[in-house]
Amino acid sequence: MITAHLTDAEIQLYVAEPEMTSDQLKIHIQDCANCQTRAVNYQLLFNGIQDQAKPRFDFDLTSLVLEQLPEPKRAFPWAAVLVSVFSIILIALLAVFFWSYMEAVITGASTVLIAITVTAAVVILIFQALEMVKNHQKQIHTLLNAKTLQL
pLDDT value for 2:
67
Residues of the chain with pLDDT under 50: 151
> Residue 148 has what pLDDT?
59
DSSP the chain: ---SPPPHHHHHHHHH-GGGS-HHHHHHHHH-HHHHHHHHHHHHHHHHHHHSPPP--SS-HHHHHHHHSPPPP----HHHHHHHHHHHHHHHHHHHHTHHHHHHHHHHS-HHHHHHHHHHHHHHHHHHHHHHHHHHHHHHHHHHHHHT---
Per-residue confidence (pLDDT) for residue 109, from 0 to 100: 86
